[in-house]
Amino acid sequence: MNGRRMVINCSSMRPTALLFAITLLAAAGAQVKPAWTAAEQPIADQLRTLRQVPDETRGEVTRRLAVETRRLPATPNKLRLAEGLANLATEGDFGAGTLQDVATTLAETLRERPVPDEKGAPAMPYRTLAQLIRYERVQVSLQAPPLAAALALLEQLDRRRASANFALRDLDGKEWSLSALRGKVVLVNFWATWCPPCRKEMPDLNALYSRFRDQGFLVLAISDEDTGKLAAFVKEHHVAYPVLLDPGGKVSEQFGAEGIPKSYVYDRDGKLAAIAIDMRTRSQFLAMLSKAGLTP
């Protein structure tokens, strides 16, 4: 979901935050630019510019695109569009109905045109749908072994995240260990300077950190980018919370952070309380923090 990067598999993050055309190609494993039909081209064009649509109308536009995509003939391009829309639909809070329509379109497209496994694992469209089901609470009628396998993989990942630990240094050289932060509510956020959804949610993270830090709330933002680039970005954007360095993306791999931004909230006992698979609004972050016992 959204600002995905590095390599295109479970071990790291795919480039959904880059050009949407690249996202569409990666979603279906294509190696060449799709040749859109007359019916597909307008949808593809609107998806490329969906992030430019104001948030107050983006949900409505997304739902319309989901319905229009669902009506297309069952082709590889339809799957590219359906998964591309699913990746973009979670970038904020556009309503449960919007996510349901998007998930229904992706599920029905996979029913029409099943996708083989990739290197022994469920193909990315099934994993995208599984994330919508598990974390966004949508419901689909698709009964397919790859989807069941994708859901099982997410369950395994959540068990790993629940017991995760790391020791990373921030931009000032201070070491932070997750296990040493018991007694605090900790939000672990995977991000990158080049990721538009990451940048969009950062002001809200900054505001929440300032608001709740005296109550024992901590944001740990993790990136594998160059130290100099991160330091310049943090200074320019006045990021108040710690930014940790993850050379080689080893911690992101430990978390199975397949796309960015990704956020994980741990309560004061160190228990995993909430997961966000994409950028969140301030109200969505507040709902996550409430699950960890932190309330205004």
Phi–psi pair at 243, nearest 5 degrees:
-110, 120
Task: Give pLDDT tens digits for 75-125.
Answer: 999 999 999 999 999 999 999 999 999 999 999 999 999 999 999 999 999
The answer to whether residue 13 scores a pLDDT higher than 80 is no
Task: Give pLDDT tens digits for 179-224.
Answer: 999 999 999 999 999 999 999 999 999 999 999 999 999 999 999 9
pLDDT band at 258 (very low <50, low <70, confident <90, very high): confident
Closest CA to 195 of 9, 10, 11, 23: 23
Give start-end residues of each CATH 3.40.30.10 domain in the chain. Answer: 167-291
Task: Give pLDDT tens digits for 33-87.
Answer: 889 999 999 999 999 999 999 999 999 999 999 999 999 999 999 999 999 999 9
Does residue 82 contact residue 109 with C-beta atoms inside 8 Å?
A: yes
Mean of the per-residue pLDDT values of the chain = 91
Does residue 133 contact residue 106 with C-beta atoms inside 8 Å?
A: no
Residues, the chain, total?
A: 296
DSSP string, 229-282: HHHHHHHHHT--S-EEE-GGGHHHHHHT--SSSEEEEE-TTS-EEEEESS---H
Give how far the C-alpha of residue 128 lies from the chain's centroid of Cα atoms, to the nearest Å.
10
Helix, strand, coil % in the chain, rounded to nearest 5: 50, 10, 35
Give the pLDDT confidence score for residue 5 in this predicted structure: 38
Q: How far apart are CA 277 and CA 258, in angstroms?
A: 9
Q: How far apart are CA 133 and CA 135, in angstroms?
A: 6
pLDDT band at 19 (very low <50, low <70, confident <90, very high): very low
Buried b (16+ CB within 10 A) or exposed e, 187-200: bbbbbbbbbebbbb
Query: Hey, what amino acid is at 24?
Result: L
pLDDT band at 2 (very low <50, low <70, confident <90, very high): low
Q: pTM for this structure?
A: 0.88
Q: Which fold has domain 167-291?
A: Glutaredoxin (3.40.30)
Percent of the chain with pLDDT over 90: 87
Query: Hey, what amino acid is at 48?
Result: R
**From start to end of 28-183, where are the E strands?**
167-169, 175-177
Contacts of residue 273, Cβ cutoff 8 Å, sequence gap at least 6: 265, 266, 267, 288, 291, 292, 293
Residues labelled as active-site residues: 198
DSSP string, 117-152: -BTTB--HHHHHHHHHHHHH--------HHHHHHHH
